[in-house]
């Protein structure tokens, strides 16, 4: 076992030109089917309760919501694609990969906290990070940080509805949670999906 | 609404910023990532459409009173646990989630329970997980992320009990 770090496959420059792995798109998965069924059942229940007018009311409201969200979804997809293209893979896997330690979790947390936008940005970008070499732990820290301490939702919704005091206090309480969630994720992941490399580390 | 405008400005500003960086790497990189982003968008739109257009119906059949009922003045850890379930089961967007939290606070719900509710809602609201997270992320990651997040509404409630009210 004298070979230099078998866990770091030569970070060749030309790796950038290869097609990006890990971003497979399933056309229609089971989750889509579940939602479709759920929506259909709910729509029928609404129809039985409120009639056609009730169904159309909700439809027009949600259609206008959808048209408002659409440009942001496009922005999120572009952001995710651009970020995964410009981030140097080898640097990402060093600073956010399985070996990145507490620093990786802190970087993930900071990234999630400053990321602009809503779910239409957070998830494409998190997916891009996974694809370019971040591990589950750092990505969990990022997603949890975005949802718990990100300013986007807090400024747009939580402060107006729940008040500044409660929101700031709630964010203060949430501060340690992304790092803890990421650490727990990493801890469990290594044990659930042990890799052959892990053996070398333990000996 | 000015907050929405601010978010849009930040969002498209970030797209422009990283776009500029990609463009300076060369037009091939830039074009490839634009095409990739556009393809992602085209693939994701039907699922988002189904979710956003359908979510109104799901919200309409789960009345808010049901959720608020779970968040009653029932304090202690049982209250926290039911708050966590209520957070995960809350349909609709942030307006509904935070309004329910406010109602619970005003109608005598315990502060740690409401914190647990808001944190659980942020972590697991089923509609966001199904509509946004699963379409964009590998399903294996999403389930894993949800599973390891389970303790944290309880941790937040515990911290709230220790440090007291805002």
Nearest residue to A89 via CA among A59, A129, A137:
A129
Q: What six digits make up the tokens of B161?
A: 């009990």
CB contact under 8 A, A70 and B45: yes
Q: What pLDDT is stored for residue A141 in this prediction? A: 97
- Whether the per-residue pLDDT at B63 is higher than 80: the answer is no
Mutate to test the interface with B, among A177, A180, A189, A192 (most CBs of B within 10 A): A177
Asked if A56 reaches chain B (Cβ–Cβ under 8 Å), the answer is: no
- In terms of Cβ atoms closer than 10 Å to its own Cβ (0-12, 13-18, 19+), residue B138 is middle
Whether residue B138 has pLDDT greater than 50: yes
- Closest residue in A to B4 (Cα) is A156
Question: What whole-number distance in Å separates Cα of residue B114 and Cα of residue B103?
Answer: 10
Residue spans per domain, chain B: 1-61, 63-166
Nearest CA in chain A to B50: A36
pLDDT tens digits along A3-34:
344 444 333 333 333 334 444 455 566 777 88
Q: What is the DSSP letter of A157?
A: I
Tell me the backbone φ, ψ of residue A144, rounded to 5 degrees: -65, -40
Measured between CA atoms, the residue of chain B closest to residue A37 is: B54
Q: What is the pLDDT of residues B104-132, one digit of tens each?
A: 888 778 889 999 999 999 999 988 888 88
What pLDDT, on a 0 to 100 scale, did the predictor assign at position B46?
85
Interchain contact B49–A (C-beta under 8 A): yes
- Residues of B in Cβ contact (< 8 Å) with A161: 94-95, 98-99, 101-102
Confidence grade of residue A196 (pLDDT, cut at 50, 70, 90): low
Provide ipTM, 2 decimals.
0.85
């Amino acid at each position: 076992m004298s070979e230099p770090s078998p866990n770091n496959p030569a970070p060749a420059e030309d790796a950038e030109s290869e097609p990006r792995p890990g971003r497979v798109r399933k056309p229609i998965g089971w989750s889509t089917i579940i939602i479709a069924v759920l929506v259909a059942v709910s729509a029928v229940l609404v129809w039985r309760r409120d009639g056609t007018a009730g169904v159309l009311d909700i439809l027009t409201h949600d259609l206008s919501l959808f048209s408002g969200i659409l440009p942001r979804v496009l922005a999120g997809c572009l952001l995710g694609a651009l970020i995964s293209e410009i981030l140097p893979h080898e640097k990402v896997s060093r600073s956010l990969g399985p070996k990145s330690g507490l620093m990786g979790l802190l970087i993930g947390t900071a990234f999630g906290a400053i990321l602009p936008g809503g779910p239409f940005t957070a998830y494409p970008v998190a997916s891009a990070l996974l694809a370019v070499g971040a591990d589950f732990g750092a990505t969990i820290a990022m997603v949890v940080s975005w949802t718990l301490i990100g300013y986007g939702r807090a400024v747009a919704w939580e402060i107006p509805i729940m008040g500044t005091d409660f929101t700031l206090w709630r964010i203060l309480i949430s501060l340690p949670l992304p790092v803890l969630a990421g650490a727990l994720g990493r801890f469990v992941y290594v044990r659930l999906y042990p890799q052959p490399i892990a053996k070398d580390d333990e000996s | 609404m000015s907050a929405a405008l601010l978010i849009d400005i930040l969002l498209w500003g970030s797209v422009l910023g990283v776009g500029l960086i990609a463009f300076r790497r060369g037009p091939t990189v830039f074009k490839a990532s634009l095409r990739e982003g556009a393809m992602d968008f085209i693939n994701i739109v039907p699922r988002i459409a189904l979710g956003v257009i359908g979510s109104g119906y799901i919200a309409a059949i789960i009345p808010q009173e049901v959720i608020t009922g779970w968040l009653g003045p029932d304090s202690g850890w049982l209250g926290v646990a039911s708050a966590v379930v209520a957070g995960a089961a809350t349909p609709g967007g942030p307006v509904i989630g935070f309004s329910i939290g406010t109602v619970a606070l005003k109608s005598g719900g315990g502060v740690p329970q409401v914190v647990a509710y808001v944190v659980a809602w942020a972590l697991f609201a089923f509609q966001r997980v199904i509509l946004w997270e699963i379409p964009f992320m590998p399903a294996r990651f999403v389930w894993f992320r949800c599973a390891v997040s389970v303790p944290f509404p309880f941790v937040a409630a515990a911290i709230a009990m220790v440090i007291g009210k805002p």
